Protein backbone atom coordinates (compact mmCIF):
# COMPACT_ATOMS: atom_id res chain seq x y z
CA UNK A 1 0.00 0.00 0.00
CA UNK A 2 1.29 3.44 -0.96
CA UNK A 3 -0.17 5.83 1.63
CA UNK A 4 0.08 9.56 2.26
CA UNK A 5 -0.82 11.12 5.62
CA UNK A 6 -1.66 14.81 5.32
CA UNK A 7 -0.89 16.54 8.63
CA UNK A 8 1.55 13.83 9.81
CA UNK A 9 3.19 16.31 12.20
CA UNK A 10 -0.09 16.76 14.10
CA UNK A 11 -1.36 14.93 17.19
CA UNK A 12 -3.44 12.29 15.35
CA UNK A 13 -1.54 12.32 12.04
CA UNK A 14 1.76 11.45 13.73
CA UNK A 15 0.18 8.33 15.28
CA UNK A 16 -1.32 7.31 11.92
CA UNK A 17 2.00 7.85 10.14
CA UNK A 18 3.93 5.92 12.80
CA UNK A 19 1.47 3.03 12.81
CA UNK A 20 1.45 2.65 9.01
CA UNK A 21 5.24 2.78 9.03
CA UNK A 22 5.41 0.09 11.74
CA UNK A 23 2.98 -2.06 9.72
CA UNK A 24 5.41 -1.97 6.78
CA UNK A 25 3.30 0.25 4.52
CA UNK A 26 5.01 2.51 2.02
CA UNK A 27 4.01 5.71 3.83
CA UNK A 28 4.69 9.39 3.16
CA UNK A 29 3.63 12.26 5.36
CA UNK A 30 3.34 16.03 5.20
CA UNK A 31 3.99 18.70 7.79
CA UNK A 32 3.43 22.43 7.82
CA UNK A 33 5.41 24.52 10.29
CA UNK A 34 6.49 21.66 12.56
CA UNK A 35 9.23 20.00 10.57
CA UNK A 36 9.89 16.36 11.47
CA UNK A 37 12.44 13.93 10.02
CA UNK A 38 11.00 11.97 7.10
CA UNK A 39 8.06 14.34 6.52
CA UNK A 40 7.67 16.62 3.53
CA UNK A 41 7.05 20.27 4.37
CA UNK A 42 4.13 21.41 2.22
CA UNK A 43 1.95 24.48 2.58
CA UNK A 44 -1.54 23.09 2.01
CA UNK A 45 -2.61 26.55 0.92
CA UNK A 46 -0.06 26.53 -1.90
CA UNK A 47 -1.68 24.73 -4.83
CA UNK A 48 1.50 24.13 -6.87
CA UNK A 49 3.43 22.70 -3.91
CA UNK A 50 0.78 20.06 -3.20
CA UNK A 51 0.16 19.12 -6.85
CA UNK A 52 3.89 18.59 -7.47
CA UNK A 53 4.20 16.39 -4.37
CA UNK A 54 1.18 14.19 -5.09
CA UNK A 55 1.82 13.85 -8.82
CA UNK A 56 5.13 12.25 -8.04
CA UNK A 57 3.71 9.83 -5.45
CA UNK A 58 0.47 8.57 -7.04
CA UNK A 59 -0.81 7.16 -3.69
CA UNK A 60 -3.39 4.36 -3.27
CA UNK A 61 -4.77 6.01 -0.16
CA UNK A 62 -4.60 9.48 1.38
CA UNK A 63 -5.54 10.08 5.03
CA UNK A 64 -6.41 13.71 5.79
CA UNK A 65 -5.53 14.51 9.43
CA UNK A 66 -5.06 18.25 8.91
CA UNK A 67 -6.91 21.10 10.52
CA UNK A 68 -6.23 24.78 10.94
CA UNK A 69 -3.43 25.09 13.44
CA UNK A 70 -4.42 28.10 15.48
CA UNK A 71 -7.65 29.48 16.94
CA UNK A 72 -8.23 31.97 14.17
CA UNK A 73 -6.88 29.85 11.34
CA UNK A 74 -9.20 29.50 8.38
CA UNK A 75 -10.55 25.93 8.14
CA UNK A 76 -12.67 26.85 5.13
CA UNK A 77 -9.60 28.03 3.18
CA UNK A 78 -7.65 24.92 4.20
CA UNK A 79 -10.37 22.73 2.72
CA UNK A 80 -11.35 24.88 -0.27
CA UNK A 81 -7.73 25.23 -1.34
CA UNK A 82 -5.78 22.34 0.21
CA UNK A 83 -8.34 19.55 0.15
CA UNK A 84 -9.76 20.42 -3.28
CA UNK A 85 -6.31 20.69 -4.74
CA UNK A 86 -5.31 17.36 -3.20
CA UNK A 87 -8.32 15.61 -4.66
CA UNK A 88 -7.57 17.00 -8.12
CA UNK A 89 -3.90 15.98 -7.90
CA UNK A 90 -4.36 12.23 -7.32
CA UNK A 91 -5.62 9.49 -9.65
CA UNK A 92 -9.42 8.94 -9.67
CA UNK A 93 -9.22 5.55 -7.96
CA UNK A 94 -7.35 6.92 -4.92
CA UNK A 95 -9.02 6.19 -1.61
CA UNK A 96 -9.49 9.26 0.58
CA UNK A 97 -10.08 9.08 4.31
CA UNK A 98 -11.06 12.48 5.67
CA UNK A 99 -11.17 13.09 9.43
CA UNK A 100 -14.08 15.31 10.41
CA UNK A 101 -15.69 16.31 13.68
CA UNK A 102 -18.74 15.59 15.83
CA UNK A 103 -19.11 19.39 15.96
CA UNK A 104 -21.12 19.36 12.72
CA UNK A 105 -23.98 17.57 14.49
CA UNK A 106 -26.88 19.23 16.31
CA UNK A 107 -26.35 19.79 20.03
CA UNK A 108 -29.24 17.76 21.35
CA UNK A 109 -30.46 14.19 21.12
CA UNK A 110 -27.12 12.33 21.07
CA UNK A 111 -25.75 9.80 20.57
CA UNK A 112 -26.13 10.72 16.90
CA UNK A 113 -26.08 8.13 14.13
CA UNK A 114 -24.55 8.74 10.71
CA UNK A 115 -28.00 9.49 9.23
CA UNK A 116 -28.56 12.55 11.45
CA UNK A 117 -28.59 15.79 9.43
CA UNK A 118 -25.61 18.02 10.23
CA UNK A 119 -26.33 21.56 11.22
CA UNK A 120 -24.17 24.60 10.39
CA UNK A 121 -23.43 27.25 12.98
CA UNK A 122 -24.93 30.68 12.32
CA UNK A 123 -22.45 32.72 14.39
CA UNK A 124 -18.98 33.86 13.43
CA UNK A 125 -17.16 32.47 16.46
CA UNK A 126 -13.87 30.64 16.04
CA UNK A 127 -15.44 27.23 16.71
CA UNK A 128 -18.29 28.05 14.30
CA UNK A 129 -15.86 28.85 11.51
CA UNK A 130 -13.85 25.67 12.16
CA UNK A 131 -16.94 23.48 12.22
CA UNK A 132 -18.56 25.11 9.19
CA UNK A 133 -15.29 24.60 7.30
CA UNK A 134 -15.44 20.88 8.11
CA UNK A 135 -19.09 20.70 7.12
CA UNK A 136 -18.35 22.44 3.83
CA UNK A 137 -15.65 19.79 3.17
CA UNK A 138 -17.99 16.91 4.05
CA UNK A 139 -20.59 18.19 1.60
CA UNK A 140 -18.12 18.86 -1.19
CA UNK A 141 -16.50 15.44 -0.76
CA UNK A 142 -19.87 13.71 -1.06
CA UNK A 143 -21.15 15.64 -4.06
CA UNK A 144 -18.75 17.56 -6.30
CA UNK A 145 -15.46 15.86 -5.53
CA UNK A 146 -13.98 13.61 -8.25
CA UNK A 147 -13.25 11.13 -5.43
CA UNK A 148 -16.86 11.08 -4.14
CA UNK A 149 -17.10 7.33 -4.73
CA UNK A 150 -13.83 6.44 -2.98
CA UNK A 151 -14.09 8.70 0.08
CA UNK A 152 -14.73 7.77 3.70
CA UNK A 153 -15.51 10.61 6.10
CA UNK A 154 -14.67 9.67 9.68
CA UNK A 155 -16.34 11.85 12.29
CA UNK A 156 -14.83 11.69 15.72
CA UNK A 157 -15.17 13.44 19.07
CA UNK A 158 -12.58 14.76 21.54
CA UNK A 159 -9.24 13.04 20.86
CA UNK A 160 -7.12 12.39 23.95
CA UNK A 161 -3.92 10.54 24.84
CA UNK A 162 -0.19 11.03 24.52
CA UNK A 163 1.37 12.56 21.42
CA UNK A 164 4.11 10.46 19.78
CA UNK A 165 6.54 12.73 21.67
CA UNK A 166 5.01 11.48 24.94
CA UNK A 167 3.17 14.66 25.96
CA UNK A 168 -0.47 14.53 26.99
CA UNK A 169 -3.09 16.26 24.87
CA UNK A 170 -3.95 19.74 26.16
CA UNK A 171 -7.29 18.69 27.70
CA UNK A 172 -5.88 15.82 29.77
CA UNK A 173 -2.80 17.87 30.68
CA UNK A 174 -5.06 20.65 32.01
CA UNK A 175 -6.99 18.20 34.21
CA UNK A 176 -3.77 16.64 35.58
CA UNK A 177 -2.40 20.13 36.28
CA UNK A 178 -5.60 21.13 38.06
CA UNK A 179 -5.42 18.05 40.33
CA UNK A 180 -1.74 18.71 40.99
CA UNK A 181 -2.55 22.27 42.13
CA UNK A 182 -4.54 20.90 45.08
CA UNK A 183 -7.27 23.53 44.48
CA UNK A 184 -10.87 22.69 43.62
CA UNK A 185 -11.83 23.13 39.98
CA UNK A 186 -14.87 22.39 37.87
CA UNK A 187 -15.82 20.75 34.62
CA UNK A 188 -19.17 20.86 32.80
CA UNK A 189 -21.49 18.00 33.61
CA UNK A 190 -23.95 18.75 30.79
CA UNK A 191 -21.40 18.99 27.95
CA UNK A 192 -21.49 15.51 26.45
CA UNK A 193 -18.96 14.22 23.96
CA UNK A 194 -17.47 11.01 22.57
CA UNK A 195 -13.87 10.94 23.85
CA UNK A 196 -11.60 8.90 21.60
CA UNK A 197 -8.15 7.60 22.50
CA UNK A 198 -5.68 8.79 19.86
CA UNK A 199 -3.95 5.46 19.30
CA UNK A 200 -7.24 3.61 18.87
CA UNK A 201 -8.46 6.19 16.36
CA UNK A 202 -5.16 5.87 14.48
CA UNK A 203 -5.60 2.10 14.44
CA UNK A 204 -9.13 2.46 13.03
CA UNK A 205 -7.93 4.83 10.28
CA UNK A 206 -5.11 2.44 9.30
CA UNK A 207 -7.59 -0.41 9.19
CA UNK A 208 -9.96 1.63 7.04
CA UNK A 209 -7.05 2.31 4.69
CA UNK A 210 -6.67 -1.40 4.04
CA UNK A 211 -10.32 -2.36 3.61
CA UNK A 212 -12.00 -1.07 0.54
CA UNK A 213 -15.68 -1.44 1.31
CA UNK A 214 -16.62 1.32 3.77
CA UNK A 215 -17.61 4.57 2.08
CA UNK A 216 -19.54 7.69 3.05
CA UNK A 217 -19.78 8.93 6.63
CA UNK A 218 -18.86 6.81 9.64
CA UNK A 219 -18.68 7.67 13.34
CA UNK A 220 -15.61 6.52 15.28
CA UNK A 221 -15.12 6.03 19.01
CA UNK A 222 -16.19 3.97 22.00
CA UNK A 223 -19.79 3.02 22.71
CA UNK A 224 -20.44 5.48 25.51
CA UNK A 225 -19.92 9.22 25.65
CA UNK A 226 -18.77 11.25 28.65
CA UNK A 227 -19.26 14.67 30.12
CA UNK A 228 -16.17 16.80 30.70
CA UNK A 229 -16.82 16.21 34.42
CA UNK A 230 -16.89 12.40 34.08
CA UNK A 231 -13.73 12.59 31.92
CA UNK A 232 -11.90 14.37 34.76
CA UNK A 233 -13.23 11.86 37.30
CA UNK A 234 -11.95 8.96 35.17
CA UNK A 235 -8.47 10.50 35.34
CA UNK A 236 -8.75 10.85 39.11
CA UNK A 237 -9.92 7.22 39.49
CA UNK A 238 -7.11 5.80 37.36
CA UNK A 239 -4.31 7.66 39.14
CA UNK A 240 -5.91 7.72 42.62
CA UNK A 241 -6.04 11.52 42.61
CA UNK A 242 -8.22 13.46 45.10
CA UNK A 243 -11.57 13.08 43.32
CA UNK A 244 -13.30 15.66 45.55
CA UNK A 245 -11.23 18.44 43.94
CA UNK A 246 -13.25 18.27 40.74
CA UNK A 247 -16.78 19.70 40.96
CA UNK A 248 -19.52 19.58 38.34
CA UNK A 249 -20.99 22.74 36.84
CA UNK A 250 -23.77 23.21 34.29
CA UNK A 251 -23.45 25.29 31.13
CA UNK A 252 -26.38 27.71 31.47
CA UNK A 253 -29.20 27.83 28.88
CA UNK A 254 -28.28 31.42 27.87
CA UNK A 255 -24.82 30.19 26.73
CA UNK A 256 -26.49 27.50 24.68
CA UNK A 257 -28.54 30.06 22.78
CA UNK A 258 -26.23 33.09 22.74
CA UNK A 259 -22.91 31.29 22.19
CA UNK A 260 -24.40 28.40 20.21
CA UNK A 261 -22.94 25.82 22.60
CA UNK A 262 -23.80 22.30 21.43
CA UNK A 263 -24.38 20.37 24.61
CA UNK A 264 -24.65 16.84 23.29
CA UNK A 265 -22.73 15.80 20.19
CA UNK A 266 -22.09 12.21 21.31
CA UNK A 267 -21.71 9.79 18.43
CA UNK A 268 -23.44 6.49 17.85
CA UNK A 269 -20.42 4.44 16.77
CA UNK A 270 -22.05 1.01 16.52
CA UNK A 271 -21.71 0.71 12.73
CA UNK A 272 -17.94 1.19 12.58
CA UNK A 273 -17.29 -0.87 15.73
CA UNK A 274 -19.15 -3.78 14.10
CA UNK A 275 -16.90 -3.57 11.01
CA UNK A 276 -13.42 -3.10 12.47
CA UNK A 277 -11.10 -5.28 14.54
CA UNK A 278 -9.90 -2.11 16.35
CA UNK A 279 -11.39 -1.89 19.83
CA UNK A 280 -12.42 1.44 21.29
CA UNK A 281 -12.12 1.39 25.09
CA UNK A 282 -14.12 3.61 27.39
CA UNK A 283 -12.27 6.51 28.99
CA UNK A 284 -12.31 4.65 32.34
CA UNK A 285 -10.83 1.49 30.84
CA UNK A 286 -8.24 3.38 28.82
CA UNK A 287 -6.98 5.58 31.68
CA UNK A 288 -6.85 2.56 33.99
CA UNK A 289 -4.71 0.69 31.43
CA UNK A 290 -2.46 3.74 30.99
CA UNK A 291 -2.04 4.20 34.74
CA UNK A 292 -1.05 0.52 35.12
CA UNK A 293 1.56 0.88 32.36
CA UNK A 294 3.07 4.01 33.92
N1 LIG B 1 -8.12 17.05 18.38
C2 LIG B 1 -9.43 16.78 18.52
O3 LIG B 1 -9.95 16.69 19.65
C4 LIG B 1 -10.28 16.56 17.28
C5 LIG B 1 -11.65 16.31 17.44
C6 LIG B 1 -12.43 16.03 16.30
C7 LIG B 1 -11.84 16.00 15.04
N8 LIG B 1 -10.51 16.28 14.92
C9 LIG B 1 -9.91 16.22 13.57
O10 LIG B 1 -8.85 15.26 13.62
C11 LIG B 1 -7.80 15.66 12.74
C12 LIG B 1 -6.50 15.69 13.52
O13 LIG B 1 -6.60 16.67 14.55
P14 LIG B 1 -5.32 17.01 15.46
O15 LIG B 1 -5.82 17.51 16.76
O16 LIG B 1 -4.35 15.90 15.39
O17 LIG B 1 -4.72 18.27 14.64
P18 LIG B 1 -3.34 19.05 14.90
O19 LIG B 1 -2.53 18.41 15.95
O20 LIG B 1 -3.70 20.51 15.08
O21 LIG B 1 -2.59 18.87 13.51
C22 LIG B 1 -2.98 19.60 12.38
C23 LIG B 1 -2.08 19.22 11.23
O24 LIG B 1 -2.44 20.01 10.08
C25 LIG B 1 -1.25 20.58 9.53
N26 LIG B 1 -1.57 21.84 8.85
C27 LIG B 1 -2.48 22.79 9.20
N28 LIG B 1 -2.47 23.82 8.33
C29 LIG B 1 -1.53 23.51 7.40
C30 LIG B 1 -1.04 24.18 6.23
N31 LIG B 1 -1.53 25.35 5.82
N32 LIG B 1 -0.05 23.58 5.52
C33 LIG B 1 0.44 22.38 5.91
N34 LIG B 1 0.03 21.69 6.99
C35 LIG B 1 -0.95 22.26 7.74
C36 LIG B 1 -0.35 20.80 10.73
O37 LIG B 1 0.99 20.96 10.32
P38 LIG B 1 2.08 21.74 11.26
O39 LIG B 1 1.66 21.54 12.68
O40 LIG B 1 3.38 21.07 10.92
O41 LIG B 1 2.02 23.18 10.83
C42 LIG B 1 -0.58 19.49 11.49
O43 LIG B 1 0.19 18.46 10.95
C44 LIG B 1 -8.20 17.01 12.16
O45 LIG B 1 -8.78 16.83 10.89
C46 LIG B 1 -9.25 17.52 13.14
O47 LIG B 1 -10.16 18.40 12.53
C48 LIG B 1 -9.71 16.56 15.99
pLDDT digits (tens, 9 = 90+) for 38-79: 999 999 999 888 889 998 899 999 999 999 988 778 999 999
Q: CA 95 to CA 208: how far, in whole Å?
A: 10
Architecture of domain 163-194+223-266+282-293: Alpha-Beta Complex (3.90)
Assess whether pLDDT exceeds 90 at residue 117: yes
Residues with CB under 6 A from ligand 1: 7, 9-13, 31-34, 42-45, 65-69, 78, 99, 101, 156, 158-159
**Average pLDDT value for the chain:** 96
Q: CA 252 to CA 92: how far, in whole Å?
A: 48
Architecture of domain 2-158+195-220: 3-Layer(aba) Sandwich (3.40)
pLDDT digits (tens, 9 = 90+) for 268-282: 999 999 999 999 999
Q: CA 166 to CA 154: how far, in whole Å?
A: 25
pLDDT digits (tens, 9 = 90+) for 166-179: 999 999 999 999 99
pLDDT digits (tens, 9 = 90+) for 186-231: 999 999 999 999 999 999 999 999 998 899 999 999 999 999 999 9
Ligand 1 atom 33: the closest Cα is on which residue? 32
Per-residue pLDDT at 206: 98
Q: Where are the beta strands (DSSP E) in 243-282?
A: 246-249
pTM: 0.98
Report which DSSP code applies to 2.
E
Q: How far apart are the first and last CA of the chain?
A: 34
The domain spans of the chain are 2-158+195-220, 163-194+223-266+282-293
Q: Using most ligand atoms within 8 A of CB, pick from 51, 69, 225 the residue to mutate for ligand 1.
A: 69
Per-residue pLDDT at 213: 87
Q: Using most ligand atoms within 8 A of CB, pick from 4, 5, 6, 7 the residue to mutate for ligand 1.
A: 7
pLDDT digits (tens, 9 = 90+) for 125-149: 899 999 999 999 999 999 999 999 9
Amino acid sequence: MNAVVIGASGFLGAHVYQRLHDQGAHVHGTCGHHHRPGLQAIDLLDTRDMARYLNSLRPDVVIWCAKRTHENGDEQALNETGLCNLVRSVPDATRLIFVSTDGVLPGTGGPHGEQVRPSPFSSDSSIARYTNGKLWAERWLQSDSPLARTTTIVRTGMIYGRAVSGEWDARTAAVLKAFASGETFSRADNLLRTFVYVDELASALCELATIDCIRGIVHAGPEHGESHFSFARAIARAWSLPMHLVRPHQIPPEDVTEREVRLDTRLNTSFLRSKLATQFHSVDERFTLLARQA
